[in-house]
Amino acid sequence: MSLTRRDFAARSAITGAGVALAGSVGSLASAPNALASTDTENAGEGTAEQHGGGVGYGPLIADPKGILALPAGFTYKIITYSGRTKLESGEVTPSNHDGTAAFPGPRGTTLLVNNHELKGPRSKWTYPVPLTEGLVYDPAASGGCTVVEVRPDGRVAEWVGIAGTSTNCAGGSTPWGTWLTCEENSDKAGVNGMTKDHGYVFEVDPGDRRANRDPKPLKFFGRYDHEAVVIDPKRGHAYLTEDASGPNGLFYRWTPPKGFEHGPGRFRTLADDAGVLQAPRCYDSGGRYVDDLSRATKIGTVYGVDWVDVPDRDAKTVDVRKQFGAGEITRARKLEGMWWGDGGAYLVSSYAREESPVQHDGQVWFYDPRRRTLTLKVLLGVNPDPSKDGGFDGPDNITVSPYGGLVIAEDGEGIQHLFGATDSGRTYPIARNDLNIGTEEEPEYSEFAGVTFSPDGKTLYASIQTPGIMLAITGPWKRQRK
């Protein structure tokens, strides 16, 4: 039985703007240019000390090697480096590292599945994902995933998990230990040299190479510019984000067919139209329809969610997000990373500009499947000067930290960070990208991506997307005060 708008409005009147419906709504954000309980016009007021004093690991120290600034006591190690490190086959590591997840491997190893966000024909890239026999979907496409094995003695091995896919951006791990890699590109066969349709999700098993042979697109998740996906381990639903505009993209829910049991390789048994794919229609505590998530300008805002069926999930003639008319669904600008934790899905809207009702420099929402609500946890006001250190903007990949709160990869303008966010509304820097890929006069810093902790929680893995460097960060991690 769904939670109706009338039910939501009635409960909100009793509990106070619906806050109790979502349990604790501690605002998981607020630093320079972040919002605590104010509106976007007041973003950026106050100092870092006022917002985040007493949390984090202290100031970042510039890296003499010009790669990664970290707090005192922390160190990093380069795990893979595009064009320099090599795969087991002898070919070099592909470029453009993106979404990543870590899995426990045999004999104390850690297995990381690393997306490579490479779009278009292979001739466009110096280091595309190698076309390993048996692991290729479309030989014209340049993207895919590699599997990186980190051994207890520090040695590293890397091999191809899937090749011939396009623009592998984010994705998500499954409760049964596999990786769902998402194509953030929906070119059809014949476009940009492609020989097959793209815009799908594929499953990669880091621990069973044979399971990855003959890649099969999981078409029941829909064909669109996929960003990330998570699986509800209790109910079996999949939640997916779409990074697209003109119009803005959507947040999706896929409900498996009745009687379906999840597990390794089980998705391959499903028909292309299996289950039900839906998009959200949100409403506020007064039961009023919300057209875009950027409308929320206060931390703790709670929206109820109805789910609307997608008419044609394979987008044969019309893009999925364009199949809905005005007033039918709720959109959001640049829906990016997701991570399952605390019984629900954390999802990111990276920023909002002219294609959104209200401008911001980043949101993190929490979807509670039991209450069918979206709660705004992080809201970053527009960063007035991204070239200066201290502010955060453009959140992208995200993970739930074993030390409390979230760790977020920044994909904004100017200086790029990894930053943490506590449960009570404080943010703090963890790392800064010091690798200038521009010039001294016009510096440029690539986004961070692929943020994920090792299974034992001792190592934070993250990547600098360009040129493509995977890093292992260790140090005196500690539980952050709320």
Residue 156 near residue 149 (C-beta atoms within 8 A): yes
Beta strand 251-255 with 276-283 is antiparallel
Whether 482 is covered by a domain: the verdict is: no
Could you tell me the residue range of the domain that residue 229 belongs to? 5-474
Angle (CA) 370-376-381 rounded to 5° is: 170
Facing residues of 453 across strands? 460
| pLDDT, position 425 | 62
Picking from 107, 66, 116, 119, the residue whose alpha carbon sits closest to that of residue 87 is 116
Q: Is residue 88 part of a domain?
A: yes
The pLDDT, as a whole number, for residue 172 is: 98
* 82 CA to centre of own chain: 22
Of the candidates 117, 265, 135, the residue with the CA atom closest to the CA atom of residue 182: 117
- At 414, the amino acid letter reads G
Residue 479 maps to a domain: no
Task: Give dist(CA 295, CA 290) in Å, integer.
Answer: 7
pLDDT for the residue numbered 415: 96
DSSP category for residue 324: S
Spell out the residues 6+ positions from residue 204 whose beta carbon is closer than 8 angstroms to its own. Answer: 113, 145, 147, 161, 162, 178, 179, 180, 181, 212
**CA atoms of 337 and 398, how far apart (whole Å):** 6
Does residue 29 lie in a domain region?
A: yes
Residue 53 pLDDT: 52
Residue 12 has what pLDDT? 43
Six-digit token string for 258: 């009745």
Q: How many domains does the chain have?
A: 1
Q: Is residue 36 part of a domain?
A: yes
- Residue 386 tokens read as 């991204």
Report how far apart, in Å, the C-alpha atoms of 371 and of each of 290, 308, 378, 435 are. 18, 17, 20, 44
Residue 32 lies in a domain: yes
Other beta carbons within 10 angstroms of residue 106's beta carbon come to 8
279: tokens are 């998009």
* Residue 481 within any structural domain of the chain: no
Largest CA distance in the chain: 65
CATH label of the domain that carries residue 271: 2.120.10.30
Does 480 map to a domain? no
Tell me the Cα Rg of the chain: 21
CA distance 364 to 375: 9
Query: What pLDDT, on the 0 to 100 scale, is given for residue 153?
Result: 95
First to last CA, the chain: 35
Per residue of the chain (482 residues), give pLDDT as tens: 444 444 444 444 433 322 222 222 333 333 333 333 223 333 333 333 333 457 899 999 999 999 999 999 999 999 999 999 999 999 999 999 999 999 999 999 999 999 999 999 999 999 999 999 999 999 999 999 999 999 999 999 999 999 999 999 999 999 999 999 999 999 999 999 999 999 999 999 999 999 999 999 999 999 999 999 999 999 999 999 999 999 999 999 999 999 999 999 999 999 999 999 999 999 999 999 999 999 999 999 999 999 999 999 999 999 999 999 999 999 999 999 999 999 999 999 999 999 999 999 999 999 999 999 999 998 998 888 888 888 899 999 999 999 999 999 999 999 999 999 987 667 899 999 999 999 999 999 999 999 999 999 999 999 999 999 999 999 999 998 77
Residue 424 pLDDT: 66
